[in-house]
Amino acid sequence: MKILLTTHVFLPEYFGGTETLVLGVALALKQRGHNVTVVTGYPEKDKPGDINQFDEYEVDSIRVLRFRHGRTSSGDQCSVMQNDYDNPVFEARFRQLLVEIEPDVVHFHHLERLSIKAIDACNERKIPAFLTATDFWYVCPTHTLLLPNGKMCDGPANGGANCLKHVTSISQPKWISGIVDSIPTGAVEGIMCCFKRSNIKLSGRVGDVQALARRSEIIRARLLLLERIFVATSHAQRMLETAGITGAQFRVLPFGIKNHGYVKRIRQRTNRPLMLGFIGSMLPHKGLHILVEASRLLPMDAAVKIKIYGKSPMGDSAYIKDLRMLAQGDERIEFYGTFESARMPAILDGIDALVIPSLWHENMPLVSLSAQAAGCPLIASDIGGLSDVVDPGKNGLLFNPGSASGLSQMIKCLLDDHDLLEKLSGAAVRPMDIEQYVDELELEYRKNIGEMDLMVHL
């Protein structure tokens, strides 16, 4: 089969969970004899203006076609917000790719700053199209379903009025966000409704409001055209349905991880300090600051070390500066930066327990699965996507999201109960490997190709 995969960003510059999953799927499919192409995006952060260039390269012998774009309007598009989900330049090139490559299957893994209308193009050419929803971008422009105050959100409400207030608060000057926030929700809902129904294509900031008002309806209509939407947990499906993605063909399929040679090692308490680890993007919603705050709540003589692996895709942001200031003077905390994915088993082998202090609705982070494969217990936020992996008291511990005191209490449990670490480690659950995962995808592909061929002949 000729299979086309998409993601919003990709290696080598980006190596988060979605990118890692796509590469694993691509390599497994290629090893089975399939012809695989990855189509991705790349935000040109340092180059203003209308970039919109395409280039090509390879990652581990996988062909990658990349759309380099600026955070601006493009083509005949007058709205930056609309380009976030409906970029006409990408759509036009994607339609050409379908003619050039003639894929048997298209499997979308992300479409941010590309175009949700790529699904239309597949539908028109009767190419079976699938989606793996690795986050909540399809219902939330910020991905996270988190409000500016850090509280969780259930998705668009009041015609998207809550989305407008949220996006304005994080993207516009304070005087503008202050004005928008002071407008009654009912009035904002009315404005959004008028913009959504208007036949006039607006531009500038008003055009962004119009694009935001139309966003949910446009994305939902395309998702209903997909053969299947894969989600890693039933929690993720509930969140998407609650936020308005109803009537789609969902299937819960836990992620598979690449077998790097994980050997389940049973952890035991020794006379050395308890070694805790954090592995992931250093972004506010990942909650690393909660771990740092929890460390400061521990007794000064607590035998604990904390290894932090990762970086911020936003560079040396205000959050990173605040984080390092918060950690300053705590000799138990060390920052190690990033590492090659092949080193994951070795990194995990040097950790007694992995801490995942997320503040948002996680979708089964791959690092949590890698940790379980290595026999490394999890100390995680009691939140959907993580509570699907952790059985509290059995293979890990849970604490209330955002609670540094709750996290410090869980760490104290491991310090005080000499047998707990061994118990949690021994009960680690081996996750599905990438080959098993791709077995399931391949079955879905073949089934739908057969159905599509039958429809064509009829």
- The token pair at 208 is 């962004």
- Domains of the chain plus CATH, in order, are 2-132+435-457 (3.40.50), 274-426 (3.40.50.2000)
Report the pLDDT value the prediction gives residue 451, as an integer from 0 to 100.
Answer: 61
Give 87-126 pLDDT, tens digit per residue: 999 999 999 999 999 999 999 999 999 999 999 999 999 9
d(CA 23, CA 164): 35
Report the pLDDT value the prediction gives residue 450, as an integer from 0 to 100.
Answer: 72
Residue 381: strand, helix, or coil: strand
d(CA 267, CA 271): 13
Bridge partners (DSSP) listed for residue 381: 399
Long-range Cβ contacts of 173-178 (<8 Å, 24+ apart): none
- Which tops the pLDDT comparison, 76 or 398? 398
Nearest to 50 by CA among 77, 70, 66, 78: 70
Please give the share of the chain, as a percent, with pLDDT higher than 70: 95
Residue 394, judged by CB atoms within 10 A of its CB (0-12, 13-18, 19+), counts as middle
Residue 334 pLDDT more than 80?
yes
Give 245-281 pLDDT, tens digit per residue: 999 999 999 999 987 778 899 999 999 999 999 999 8
Report the pLDDT value the prediction gives residue 456, as an integer from 0 to 100.
Answer: 46
Residue 421 pLDDT more than 70?
yes
Report the pLDDT value the prediction gives residue 458, as an integer from 0 to 100.
Answer: 42
CA distances from 71 to 68, 81, 102 (A): 10, 9, 30
Decide: 53 and 68 in contact? Cβ < 8 Å. yes
pLDDT category of residue 78 using cuts at 50, 70 and 90: low
Report the pLDDT value the prediction gives residue 74, as an integer from 0 to 100.
Answer: 54
User: 68: part of which helix (H) or strand (E)?
Assistant: strand 62-69
Quick one: CA torsion of 436, 234, 106, 143, rounded to 10 degrees?
A: -120
User: 55: part of which helix (H) or strand (E)?
Assistant: strand 53-59
Report the pLDDT value the prediction gives residue 154, as an integer from 0 to 100.
Answer: 85
Residue 106: strand, helix, or coil: strand
Lowest-confidence region among 14-28, 47-61, 81-95, 405-419:
47-61
The tokens 């050395």 sit on which residue? 272
Residue 120, judged by CB atoms within 10 A of its CB (0-12, 13-18, 19+), counts as middle
- Give the chain's radius of gyration (CA, Å): 23
Decide: 32 and 331 in contact? Cβ < 8 Å. no
Residue 38: strand, helix, or coil: strand
Decide: 138 and 114 in contact? Cβ < 8 Å. no
Rounded to an integer, what is the distance from CA 69 to the centroid of its chain? 20
pLDDT category of residue 457 using cuts at 50, 70 and 90: very low
Nearest to 168 by CA among 147, 198, 152: 147
Nearest to 305 by CA among 328, 330, 274, 337: 274
**How would you list the strands of the sheet with 396-399, edge to edge?**
333-337, 304-309, 274-279, 353-356, 378-381, 396-399
